[in-house]
Structure 1
Amino acid sequence: MATVDLHLHTTASDGNLSPTELINLLDRRGLKIVAITDHDSTDGIIEAQTVQASIKDLTLIPGIELSADAPGTEVHILGYFLRWEDSTFQQVLKGFRDDRLERTKEMVDVLSKLGINLEIERILQLADGAVGRPHIAQAMIEKGYVKDNREAFDKYLGREGSAYVSRTKFLPQDAIELIHSVGGVSVLAHPTFVNNLEDRLAEMVEAGLVGIEVYYSGYEPGVVKDLAELAARFELIPCGGSDYHAFGVNGETLPGEVGPPEASVMALEILAASKITAKTPPLA
């Protein structure tokens, strides 16, 4: 059982637990250091901090997960120790969420042409925050078009799916720069999902990436070993977490079942503190 989990989602994006519910779960499971990393949103942080303040032995790191695209692959970048209240940063995030809404509407239109009729109002109700493809999948499951998220993404919503709509161009380097603009440190999420990983990694390290998820939901010991060696080769901090969404499906990794050592958090915090000392300017 790990005491650190740096990859968690709430209802502020595509998780099914409110920030309050998630923090209480983390406390019950004995976690010591956690990060809420909702997609394109920090809206859950204040509520989470309010609950966490009454829990003596739990440290909460403000985080985020940003989606980006590199040639032939999707890349997610995690950010930690952010000055998340920065007004310019929040304006950028709102733009991302607005793009998500437009993209969702386009996908619903494509699905309707394929005979899959969904109500955008229901999808937004399911989202109750930053809408995304998982909410479309949830609506499809409700109406019996697919049996689970995997089928929804494999057939329709994934990059090779028949209803996939690409998003506005945003490179991993852009995500790293955005995180740095508010004093944060950037980490590559679920690296085994990234095609041509080593080439992409070299580009991201040059842009300022400092960590990589070595410990992640479903990673076998051999994969962890390979990623730890990759992290050492690129001089990256080995990070990780459960990527918990509370989907309620069999086999879902629970908070604390996987995670990095506390030393990784200390290394991230030292780097973040050095950025704050340098007074990184906000994004123009």
Structure 2
Amino acid sequence: MAAITDHDTTNGLDEAFEEAANHPGLTLIPGIELSADVPGNEVHMLGYHIDRQDEDLQEALKEFQAGRVDRGRDMVEKLGELGLPVSWERVQELAQGTVGRPHIAQAMVERGYIEHVAQAFDKYLGRNGLAYSERVKLTPEGAVRLITQAGGVAVLAHPIYTTDYIDMLPGLKAAGLVGMEVHYSTLSRDAIADLARVAKEHDLLPCGGSDYHAMDKPDEALPGQAGPPLEVAERLADLASRR
């Protein structure tokens, strides 16, 4: 069982399902990861079992993708002003679709400005970074509603990296949140246990995944190396089937 949850796009799902048809034992879940904002921080919302042809979802994604292009160009321009020029055309080639900050970081690695993608986020592309640029705004609650309206189930992604995420949970649950990521490749057993406790206290499914981005990072988990018990995935599917 695997889920495809690209950032702010469903463009890869058709190809993924075509390939999955060659593997009868594989269950593929159509999904998405929406980027949302709160003051001073960024929140990612996973949507599983979405209707990828939902018109409202696709209209929103067109707006987000246009914003990603504008944001990407702005970051590339800022890097040039910092004496770290990268080619916008090369960034687009690396993206092979929707442009994101990781593709700019990859271009920086190629130019020898940094050794690893993570370094680009630490100094240049992360929030408050020297080349950071804001993007089209979406609230976390809005992301949950967009996923739910598209027939999916919403799960808060890697909450441990979101400041004060516990305070957000009541509002997110009211909007339709059903789970939060607990099982995550970079977390210790104690961190996973703490997240599991929070999920239980708020009656949320303890979800998880590899968060694989194919970025060639030394510590990047491969698909299948991190995730929740199968029964959690089955419960997500059951909830989605009732929509």
Q: TM-score range by the shorter chain?
A: over 0.9
- 3-state SS, counterpart of residue 207 of structure 2: strand
When the two chains are superposed, the root-mean-square deviation of aligned CA atoms in Å is: 1.1
- 1:249 offset after TM fit, Å? 2.6
**Residues 154 and 160 in structure 1, CA contact (< 8 A), matched pair in contact too:** no
Structure 1: state its 5+ residue gaps. Answer: 1-32, 276-284
**Residues 106 and 165 in structure 1, CA contact (< 8 A), matched pair in contact too:** yes
Query: Match for 2:58: what amino acid?
Result: Q
Instruction: Deviation per CA, 1:24-69: give whole Å up to 9, x if none.
Output: xxxxxxxxx1100001111111111112122122100100000001
Equivalent position of 2:24 in the other structure: 56
Query: Match for 2:177: what amino acid?
Result: L
Q: Distance in 2 between matches of 1:163 and 1:272?
A: 39
> Is 1:244 equivalent to 2:217 in the alignment?
no
**Residues 70 and 171 in structure 1, CA contact (< 8 A), matched pair in contact too:** yes
Q: RCO (CA 8 Å, sep 6+): is it higher in 1 or 2?
A: 1
Q: Distance in 1 between matches of 2:166 and 2:49?
A: 26
Q: Distance in 2 between matches of 1:159 and 1:251?
A: 22
Structure 2: state its 5+ residue gaps. Answer: none
Instruction: Deviation per CA, 1:8-27: give whole Å up to 9, x if none.
Output: xxxxxxxxxxxxxxxxxxxx
Question: 84, 98, 105: which is aligned to 1:137?
Answer: 105
Equivalent position of 2:55 in the other structure: 87
- 3-state SS, counterpart of residue 29 of structure 2: strand
Instruction: Deviation per CA, 1:68-99: give whole Å up to 9, x if none.
Output: 01122110000011111123321211111110
Instruction: Deviation per CA, 1:118-154: give whole Å up to 9, x if none.
Output: 1111111111100010111111111111111111111
Runs of 4+ residues over 3 Å off in structure 1: none
Equivalent position of 1:105 in the other structure: 73
> Is 1:159 equivalent to 2:145 in the alignment?
no
Equivalent position of 1:68 in the other structure: 36
> Is 1:196 equivalent to 2:164 in the alignment?
yes
Q: Distance in 2 between matches of 1:109 and 1:92?
A: 26
Query: Match for 1:199: what amino acid?
Result: D
Query: Match for 1:206: what amino acid?
Result: A
Question: Greater CA deviation, 198-207 or 94-103?
Answer: 198-207
Q: Distance in 1 between matches of 2:41 and 2:151?
A: 27
Query: Match for 2:68: what amino acid?
Result: R
Q: Distance in 2 between matches of 1:163 and 1:51?
A: 38
- 1:203 offset after TM fit, Å? 2.0
> Is 1:227 equivalent to 2:195 in the alignment?
yes
Equivalent position of 2:138 in the other structure: 170
- 3-state SS, counterpart of residue 177 of structure 2: coil
- 1:255 offset after TM fit, Å? 1.4
Q: How many equivalent residue pairs?
A: 243
Q: Distance in 1 between matches of 2:74 and 2:24?
A: 46
Query: What is the TM-score with the length of structure 2 in the denominator?
Result: 0.97
